[in-house]
Amino acid sequence: MAKKESTFKNMTIALFVITAVAGFFMAAVYSVTKEPIAISQKAKINNAIKMVVPEFETITDTVLMPEDGTDSIRIHRLLKGTENSGVAVETYTDKGFSGRFTLMVGFTPEGSISSIEVLEHKETPGLGTKMALPAFKDQFKGLKIADLPDGKLKVKKDGGSIDAITAATISSRAFCDAVNRAHQTHRKGEKQ
């Protein structure tokens, strides 16, 4: 068999064939994995809701746009029978040391924080990652943000009541920002 001459036309055809075959296989893998990934993400959200507001029977979702017009925030209203069992708010911040992270914040029917779960982050291992530990996030439990002096959570360095993670003040401030965003969105959702 004779060797084909290396011309621009032959190289273009070969590159096109390789790209088309690779694209086909990538599309096939995507279509096979799309549904299991979506199911896994939904299960992760449902587990986080159960962690922040443990006693409920029914979930109704609302998507609200924050006032700054960025991404939407999902509010999960939780009912036990016909009684309000609380609210779980999927929130985020872009102010983390390593960019965006997301939280699930639970609020009691009275408006105080019941619990917080970290859903996703890329913070520095051993420093910012400590935000997911009970030693940090449990200090938010029972706080009613509306009753705070400025109506916002802040770290002690900024005149607030939250102990920042040692050597991770940026992550701690970002955590407060995400919880404040959840609270503002929750209050906005109550008015609708």
Torsions phi, psi for 151 (to 5 deg): 70, 20
CA 173 – CA 46 distance, rounded (Å): 26
Q: What digits encode the pLDDT tens for the residues 157-185?
A: 999 888 988 888 899 999 999 999 989 88
**Predicted confidence (pLDDT) at residue 145 exceeds the cutoff of 80:** yes
Q: Would you state the pLDDT for residue 5?
A: 76
Q: What is the mean pLDDT of residues 22-29?
A: 94
How much is the pTM? 0.78
Is the separation of the CB atoms in 65 and 188 below 8 Å?
no
Is the separation of the CB atoms in 103 and 118 below 8 Å?
yes
| Structure tokens belonging to residue 64 | 């609200």
Q: Which residues contact 146 (CB under 8 A, 6 or more apart)?
A: 111, 183, 187
Q: How many residues does the chain have?
A: 192
Q: Would you state the pLDDT for residue 71?
A: 65
Is the separation of the CB atoms in 182 and 89 below 8 Å?
yes
| Percentage of the chain lying above the pLDDT 90 cut | 35
- Measured over the CA atoms of residue 127, residue 132, residue 136 and residue 140, the dihedral's sign is positive
Q: Would you state the pLDDT for residue 70?
A: 59
Q: What digits encode the pLDDT tens for the residues 31-68?
A: 999 999 888 888 888 888 888 888 888 878 777 655 55
Confidence of residue 113 (pLDDT cuts 50, 70, 90): very high
